[in-house]
Structure 1
């Protein structure tokens, strides 16, 4: 998902909301794991922030597509 999100052709719509919500949930669970290496924590936080950003960009469930370049 991170690679695709940087593509100029990347489009996300309200139908993708469950996927990105699950990505945030999984990231939060990983961050609760004790003794994760610092590098892993950085990657997980970055992916979680990316997913949260996409969810914010979706805003309300209007069904409109949002283009992310």
Structure 2
């Protein structure tokens, strides 16, 4: 979201008919926006996502070698 606000403000030819105050307010809103993603109250970050994919892959390989899958 923060990148979108900066892109809107830095592309003057795309939004040339939009008032400067509106563009500034979008930039101010997106730069002050703090968003986090959570799944079952656990924050979803790159580290947790990588760990989940790794554990899932190990589990699938283990089950496949035991002829469960």
TM-score by length of 1: 0.36
Q: TM-score, normalised by structure 2?
A: 0.36
| Larger relative contact order (CA 8 Å, sep ≥ 6) | 1
Greater Rg over alpha carbons, structure: 2
